[in-house]
Amino acid sequence: MISSKITGTGAFIPSIKKENKDFLNEKFLNEDGTDFSSENDVIIQKFKAITGIEERRYAKPAYTSSDLAYFAAQKAIEDANVNPEELSYIILAHNFGDVKEGKIQSDLLPSLATRVKHKLGIKNPNCVAYDLLFGCPGWIEGVIQAQAFIKAGIAAKCLVIGAETLSRVVDKYDRDAMIFSDGAGACIIEATEDDSSKILGHATQTFANEEAYYLYYGKSFNSEADKDTRYIKMLGRKIYEFALTAVPSGMKTALDKSGVEIEDVKKIFLHQANEKMDEAIIKRFYRLYKKPVPEGVMPMSIHKLGNSSVATVPTLLDLVLKGKIENQQLNKGDVIILASVGAGMNVNAVVYKY
């Protein structure tokens, strides 16, 4: 029986580092445009205590999301040792397209996936390239779609990428701007008949009633700013409360489908959105099985890389596989869970045997 396995991973971590102290001179405002009662150093200290973020990475001005995606794709292709001409699909998850430094327009023509195929020099017209807009869970959903193509017999090798430059769409007057960052992660997924490594189960849900606009495009908190320019905005408390219920439930659905026992899960790669939220999600997940959280089960990269949306999970996976996160590694046969939550509101999870 044909299954799907990850044969290579790659990530591109931008070189521009922005530490928390670099926000000390920013002018943060409340949503109504009024000043905060606290000084920036207090705001930043509280921010770090909640999110765990100490620094984040921004792309160089010359690079756009498709550039970052291309860099990550190159590394994944090299890691998997595949011929790009043999790729059946290139699936590129993002949210805002190519936004150039200092510009307000999003460029999506042609699609970012087409741009990556062009940069890779792939001549095969049967390599289908398309974009996936699914919020932060986009890369995981791309993995799920690639598996579906492979199981249907219409694909043998797929390139799935998550790339974003959120630094280009944040409102500098909004303290939430400190959360977001840039980056890209990618993987190659291939058809396999070998049961030693494969996707075991998955689950996806979209909550689009009152949750639909928990993340949205909104105007600047500065009333004097251009009223026609929009930025990424979020209802942080509502997202937190939503995620604590929806994500553990989605992970449980995927795990139960896989037939794997909770005790056999070695690592959980969770979207790097907020350290406190991720820790609470993991506790809630294990509570569903009446089990304690195993030590070291959840690798984290948010402290140094921030929240790069669709790029967080593939980047974290690549870092662990390449031995770049201290005291975190995977062994052959380990069962892992990849899970995310984000705009839409979308939740998904994949159970994978490494």
Q: Quick one: pLDDT at residue 244? A: 96
Asked if CATH classification 3.40.47.10 holds for the domain at 3-195, the reply, yes or no, is: yes
Q: Provide the pLDDT confidence category of residue 2 given band limits of 50, 70 and 90.
A: confident
Q: Look up the pTM and report it.
A: 0.95
**Quick one: which of 14, 17, 48 has its CA closest to 276?**
48
> Half-sphere exposure of residue 83, counting CA atoms within 13 Å on the CB side?
4
For residue 188, what is the enclosing H or E element?
A: strand 182-192
The residues that bridge with 166 in the sheet, in sequence order, are none
Where does the pLDDT of residue 104 fall: very low under 50, low under 70, confident under 90, or very high at 90 and above?
Answer: confident
Contact (Cβ atoms closer than 8 angstroms) between residue 78 and residue 186: no
DSSP state of 213: T
Q: 285 pLDDT band (50/70/90 cuts)? A: very high
* Chain segment 192-238, per-residue pLDDT in tens: 888 888 999 999 999 999 999 999 999 999 988 888 899 999 999 99
**345: cis peptide before it, omega within 30°?**
yes
- Binned at pLDDT 50, 70 and 90, residue 124 comes out as very high
**pLDDT 10s digits, 131-158:** 999 999 999 999 999 999 999 999 999 9
> In this structure, what token pair is assigned to residue 8?
């290579």
Give the CATH fold of the 199-353 domain. Peroxisomal Thiolase; Chain A, domain 1 (3.40.47)
Short-list 161, 157, 148, CA closest to 192:
157
Tens digits of residue pLDDT in 165-180: 999 999 999 999 999 9
| Percent with pLDDT over 70 in the chain | 100
Per-residue confidence (pLDDT) for residue 9, from 0 to 100? 98
Q: What are the backbone dihedrals phi and psi of residue 239, each rounded to the nearest 5 degrees, phi first?
A: -65, -45
Mean pLDDT over 61-85 rounds to 98
Between CA 202 and CA 183 the distance in angstroms is 25
Per-residue pLDDT at 13: 98
Tokens 């940069």 belong to 119
Strands 3-12 and 198-206: unpaired
CA distances from 232 to 94, 135, 157, 272 (A): 13, 12, 34, 17
Q: In whole angstroms, what is the distance from residue 105 CA to residue 96 CA?
A: 9
The pLDDT score that the predictor gives to residue 336 is 98
Q: What is the pLDDT of residue 227?
A: 84
Considering only CA atoms, which of 78, 80, 149, 157 is closest in space to residue 120? 78
Question: Is it the case that residue 181 has pLDDT exceeding 90?
Answer: yes
Distance in angstroms (rounded) separating the CA atoms of residues 40 and 25: 7
Sign of CA dihedral 261, 262, 263, 269: positive
How far is 62 from 308, CA to CA, in rounded Å?
Answer: 18
Q: How far apart are CA 293 and CA 259, in angstroms?
A: 20
Hey, do 3-195 and 199-353 end up sharing a CATH topology, with the first three levels equal?
yes
Higher-pLDDT residue of 253, 193: 253
Classify residue 299 as left (phi > 0), alpha (psi -120 to 50) or beta: beta
Domain ranges of the chain: 3-195, 199-353
